[in-house]
Amino acid sequence: IMENKNNYQKIENSTVDIIMPNYNKGKFLEEAINSVLNQDYKNWKLIIIDGASSDNSKNILKDFEKKFNNIQVVYLDKRENTAYARNLGIKLAKATYIAFLDSDDYWRENKLSEQINFMENFNYDFTYTDYVPFYLINHKKKFKKKVIPPDSFTYNEFIYNTSIATSSMVIKKSIIGDIKCPDVKILEDYPFKCEILKKKSMAQKLKKDLMFYRISEGSLQSNKFRNVYWLWF
């Protein structure tokens, strides 16, 4: 955790609000949250929506919430899907920019400073970055080859190539408007991105890998057919 944490000032008007859904990811939470705390860009607020976790998530979240005034946690009374959590986070966000970070991913420490500077210099509304997938073997991280999406996406390009990682995105809140993640079981972020691209016409990539994407055990191979079906749906 950052040094001088007791002197960390409450931010009333953050530039970027970070939305983090969580459900039973207690063993990954600290790494994800610490990657936000360690950002060299300081004008942020972290909004965590916990979907009635039954593991040790709540204890971890309460500890962070106590120590840092710019971490807001919403504890839901019952399990809700990720779409509900993202939509609630967007509703609560007041900043100019909204970033997304899943509770099992994490960022490089210069992620926000690089990306927000990129957006402000070129007046971009929707950006994303390259990223590095990883997985654990015997408690050690194994990093895969960096994923390098195209440099930009229009709506018509994106529907054939869905490689924008949600945890790499920063979007101006003003262009989201009343767009919501639809109430579907998985891949709720795909139609959300589509709707924004329909409205805004283009997303631009910052050509740096600033995010680490966790491949959870059994999450990819066993679900490939199901994910293809839901993406079509």
> pLDDT grade, residue 25 (50/70/90)?
very high
CA-closest candidate to residue 170, choices 4, 5, 15, 49: 15
Residues 219 and 20: their CA atoms lie apart, in Å, by 19
For 71-88, the pLDDT digits (tens) are: 999 999 988 888 889 999
Please spell the DSSP secondary structure of 120-176, one letter per residue.
Answer: HHHT-SEEEEEEEEEEEETTEEEE-PPB---SEE-HHHHTT-----GGG-EEEHHHH
Mean pLDDT calculated for residue range 114-123 = 95
Average pLDDT, the chain: 86
What is the CB neighbour count within 10 angstroms for residue 7? 7
pLDDT at 57: 95
> pLDDT grade, residue 7 (50/70/90)?
very low
Q: Would you give the distance in Å from CA 176 to the centre of its chain? A: 15
pLDDT at 159: 85
Give just the sign of the alpha carbon dihedral 58, 63, 66, 67.
negative
For strands 97-100 and 16-22, give the pairing: parallel
For strands 203-214 and 106-107, give the pairing: antiparallel
pLDDT at 218: 56
Instruction: Return the half-sphere exposure (C-beta side, CA atoms, 13 A cut-off) of residue 219.
Output: 12
Yes or no: say if 132 and 126 are a contact pair by the CB < 8 Å rule. no
In terms of Cβ atoms closer than 10 Å to its own Cβ (0-12, 13-18, 19+), residue 3 is exposed
Mean pLDDT calculated for residue range 29-40 = 97
For 122-142, the pLDDT digits (tens) are: 999 999 999 999 988 888 999
> pLDDT grade, residue 2 (50/70/90)?
very low
Which region among 1-5, 62-66, 137-141, 191-195 has the lowest average model confidence (pLDDT)? Answer: 1-5
CA-closest candidate to residue 80, choices 26, 32, 24, 23: 23
Which region among 19-23, 76-80, 99-103 has the lowest average model confidence (pLDDT)? Answer: 76-80
Secondary-structure breakdown of the chain: helix, strand, coil percentages, each rounded to the nearest 5: 35, 25, 40
**What are residue 152's phi and psi, to 5 degrees?**
-160, 165
This prediction has a pTM of 0.87
Mean pLDDT calculated for residue range 39-51 = 96
pLDDT at 12: 47
For 147-188, the pLDDT digits (tens) are: 999 999 999 999 888 789 999 999 999 999 888 887 766 666
Mean pLDDT calculated for residue range 59-64 = 96
For 184-225, the pLDDT digits (tens) are: 666 668 888 999 999 877 999 999 999 999 987 655 434 544
